């Protein structure tokens, strides 16, 4: 694993001159943030040694290097999901690469269903914590101490300082947001009404099929994490209509302007 990661890192170091400290993972329908990145260099996942390839509509499958307001960034336009058939180590492989490439701060975003009845489609939610309902864990297996400790602490997974920075930025920009707990499931089916009731009782405000593995590994690797969910639909049993991926992507794109402005301005202040 370590040797594969370093092979990928060496390839990217030879491909681009950028050495960013900030990375962004863009969820379904949220790829327009790439338009805020100046002096872009884009690399297709297919070209990168040992990299998986995204198979989901709304995930372009590119690493994008460049600058936002003078701050060098690396953006993943398209992520990998457990439901695509990848193993957890493949789902989180880019996070290992980011760390060895020099990334210190990770902004992770997603499109999610709202289980908090105070939310509505289009709500932006700052992730304060998460619940792993994948039935597995991305760190299962032999531990390589070159990456991180065998038993990582999860107390401050979503960095409090980055949350405060995002809150202050949103206030100055007049962007409304909520705060809440994200619950991750395997997918690919949307949840049943009974599952949503159970997840809400567990404390979930939003439900999705990503983010938890990536945030867990990023925390393990010692990265600072900021998480933002775009509530694209109300969860089953709360919503009046059936769900579709196309509708999720459409709502995410509609909400995208506020999301992009918020993330871009927050990233500018991370320096």
Q: Cite the annotated binding site for phosphate by residue number.
A: 28, 59, 79-81, 111, 210
Which of the residues 23, 59, 206, 235 is marked catalytic?
Answer: 59
Under a CB-based contact definition with an 8 Å cutoff, are residues 209 and 134 in contact?
Answer: no
Which of the residues 42, 60, 154, 245 is marked catalytic?
Answer: 245
Active site residue 233: yes
Active site residue 245: yes
Neighbours of 243 (CB within 10 A): 17
**Alpha-carbon radius of gyration of the chain:** 17
Binding-site entries:
28, 59, 79-81, 111, 191, 210, 233
Which of the residues 1, 42, 50, 83 is marked catalytic?
Answer: 83
Which of the residues 72, 76, 81, 96 is marked catalytic?
Answer: 81
Which of the residues 210, 219, 229, 258 is marked catalytic?
Answer: 210
Active site residue 235: no
Distance of CA 130 to the CA centre of its chain: 12
Active site residue 130: no
DSSP result, 106-134 = EEEEEEEEE-STT--TT-EEEEEEEEEES
Active site residue 111: yes
Binding-site entries for a purine D-ribonucleoside:
191, 233
In our burial notation (b when 16+ CB lie closer than 10 A, e otherwise), range 50-89 reads: ebbebebebbbbbbbbbbbeebbbbbbbbbbbbbbebebb
Q: Under DSSP, is residue 55 helix (H, G, I), strand (E, B) or coil?
A: coil
Active site residue 59: yes
Which of the residues 36, 54, 84, 170 is marked catalytic?
Answer: 84
Under a CB-based contact definition with an 8 Å cutoff, are residues 26 and 251 in contact?
Answer: no
Which of the residues 54, 159, 233, 258 is marked catalytic?
Answer: 233
Active site residue 271: no
Which of the residues 111, 166, 215, 252 is marked catalytic?
Answer: 111
Active site residue 81: yes
73 Rama class: left (phi>0) / alpha (psi -120 to 50) / beta = beta
Which of the residues 170, 209, 234, 270 is marked catalytic?
Answer: 209
Neighbours of 175 (CB within 10 A): 16
Residues annotated as catalytic (active site), given as ranges: 28, 59, 81, 83-84, 111, 209-210, 233, 245
């Amino acid at each position: 694993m370590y040797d594969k990661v370093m092979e990928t890192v060496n390839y990217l170091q030879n491909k681009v001159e950028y050495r960013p400290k900030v990375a962004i993972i863009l969820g379904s329908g949220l790829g327009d943030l790439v338009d805020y990145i100046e002096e872009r260099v884009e690399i297709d996942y297919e070209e990168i040694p040992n990299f998986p390839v995204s198979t989901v509509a709304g995930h372009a499958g590119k690493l994008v290097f460049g600058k936002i307001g003078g701050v060098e960034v690396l953006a993943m336009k398209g992520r990998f999901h457990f439901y695509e058939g990848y193993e957890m180590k493949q789902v989180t492989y880019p996070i290992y690469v980011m760390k060895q490439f020099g990334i210190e701060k990770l902004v992770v975003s997603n499109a999610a269903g709202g289980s908090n009845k105070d939310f509505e489609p289009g709500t932006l939610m700052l992730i304060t914590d998460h619940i792993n309902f994948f039935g597995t864990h991305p760190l299962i297996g032999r531990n390589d101490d070159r990456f991180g400790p065998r038993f990582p602490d999860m107390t401050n997974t979503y960095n409090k300082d980055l949350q405060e920075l995002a809150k202050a930025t949103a206030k100055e920009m007049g962007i409304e947001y909520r705060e809440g707990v994200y619950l991750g499931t395997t997918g690919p089916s949307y949840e049943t009404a009974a599952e949503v009731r159970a997840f809400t009782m567990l404390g979930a405000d939003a439900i999705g099929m990503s983010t938890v593995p990536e945030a867990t590994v990023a925390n393990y690797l010692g990265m600072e994490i900021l998480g933002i969910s775009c509530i694209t639909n109300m969860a089953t049993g709360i919503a009046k209509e059936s769900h579709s991926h196309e509708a999720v992507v459409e709502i995410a794109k509609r909400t995208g302007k506020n999301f992009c402005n918020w993330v871009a301005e927050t990233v500018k202040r991370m320096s």
